[in-house]
Amino acid sequence: MPGAAHPRDNQGNPSMLIHIAKRILVALPTLLIVSVLVFSLQKLLPGDPVLALAGEERDPATLAALREKYHLNDPFLMQYLRWLGGVLTGDFGVSLRTGQPVLELIGQKLPVTIQLAFMSMFFALLIGIPTGILAAVKKGTVLDWLANVIALSGLSIPNFWLGIMLILLVSVQLGWLPASGYESPFVDPLRSFQTMLMPSFVLGTGLAATLMRHTRSAMLGVLSADYIRTARAKGLGSREVIMTHAFRNALLPVITLTALLFGELLAGAVLTEQIFTIPGFGKLIVDAVFNRDYAVVQGVVLCTAMGFLLMNLVADVLYVLLNPRMRTAL
């Protein structure tokens, strides 16, 4: 068994550190390009940001003063460099709409979305892994077929529709769970859990489907491998074979996938947060796009991209750490 054959002795392996450093170096220009892209994209947005924020009165003198204040009359490149310089020194600018520093907004919203991501992942793992294992072990049976149908449904159902249907049924008709009203878990854990239950279920369904399919195929691959056949031939009980040998080895791609899915969760929360009025990253950014709140759009997209790249790196490192063959290959 490959897992047992190699002791975990080389975690401090310099080649590992070099590998990570290399990955970070590659990620830096990517982030720089993201910053250029997001800055240009939102400069292209129609509608004068100052006018969008001017409200009904639209007093020209005030508009001019605001444009001056936010340097909106400067050449594009100047604006970009000023913003980038600020970002590098930890100043992401202020929201045009509320006057709050963007970094403070990010600090307020990120924990909410992370909580949502964790709870969704919890649902996804809870549903996805056992059904994946079951489907692989019972391959070709009705159970396998059923698990596949459920997974496919999870992948195909539009999240926002599932969300409004749940609100309709659970909140409006039955009155079981609140339709919105986020509360921090540090203030009221029960309420926090209640308000996050539906949104994390909605987000979790799609992830569960992906996890189930990967668990199933990884398990199938492992189950057909020689050492499992040997173990079975040696007369080990099938439950033991599945749980101790097969699953442990099938786990590797699943863990990597989980890390990758986390990165995607940050983005996937966009509509779900909108539906359930959760004051997280997704709602922040959609509202900012519609309000033309430039600094917020820029800061949040950059932050999301960073999170995404970070989770990719984590997945990559995990893959190497957990896979002895890869470790020696370094």
Contacts to other proteins from residues 290-319, by CB under 8 A: 290-292, 297, 301, 304-305, 308-309
- Using the rule CB under 8 A, which residue among 14, 24, 69, 330 binds other proteins? 69
Pattern of binders to other proteins over 9-38, x per CB under 8 A? -----------------x--xxx-xx--xx
Question: Which single residue is written with the structure tokens 């009165």?
Answer: 57
Residue closer to other proteins by CB (options 95, 258) is 95
Q: Can you tell me the distance from the alpha carbon of 256 to that of 274, in angstroms, rounded to the nearest whole number? A: 29
φ/ψ of 101, rounded to 5, equals -60, 140
Q: Can you tell me the distance from the alpha carbon of 65 to that of 42, in angstroms, rounded to the nearest whole number? A: 21
Does 241 bind other proteins (CB under 8 A)? Our answer is no
Identify the DSSP state of 245.
Answer: I
Does 68 bind other proteins (CB under 8 A)? Our answer is yes
Does 57 bind other proteins (CB under 8 A)? Our answer is yes
Pattern of binders to other proteins over 182-211, x per CB under 8 A? x-xxxxxx--x-------------------
Does 150 bind other proteins (CB under 8 A)? Our answer is no
Does 223 bind other proteins (CB under 8 A)? Our answer is no
Does 141 bind other proteins (CB under 8 A)? Our answer is no
Neighbours of 111 (CB within 10 A): 14
- Using the rule CB under 8 A, which residue among 203, 284, 315, 320 binds other proteins? 284
- Using the rule CB under 8 A, which residue among 20, 54, 103, 143 binds other proteins? 54
Q: How many residues line the site for other proteins (CB under 8 A)?
A: 94
Token pair for 9: 């002795």
Q: Check: CB of residue 140 under 8 Å from CB of residue 220.
A: no
Kindly provide the residue ranges of all beta strands, DSSP E only, lying in 39-98, ordered along the sequence.
none
Q: Can you tell me the distance from the alpha carbon of 133 to that of 144, in angstroms, rounded to the nearest whole number? A: 10
- Using the rule CB under 8 A, which residue among 7, 90, 99, 235 binds other proteins? 99
Single out the residue of 53, 57, 80, 88 nearest to residue 67, CA to CA.
Answer: 53
Neighbours of 282 (CB within 10 A): 26
Does 156 bind other proteins (CB under 8 A)? Our answer is yes
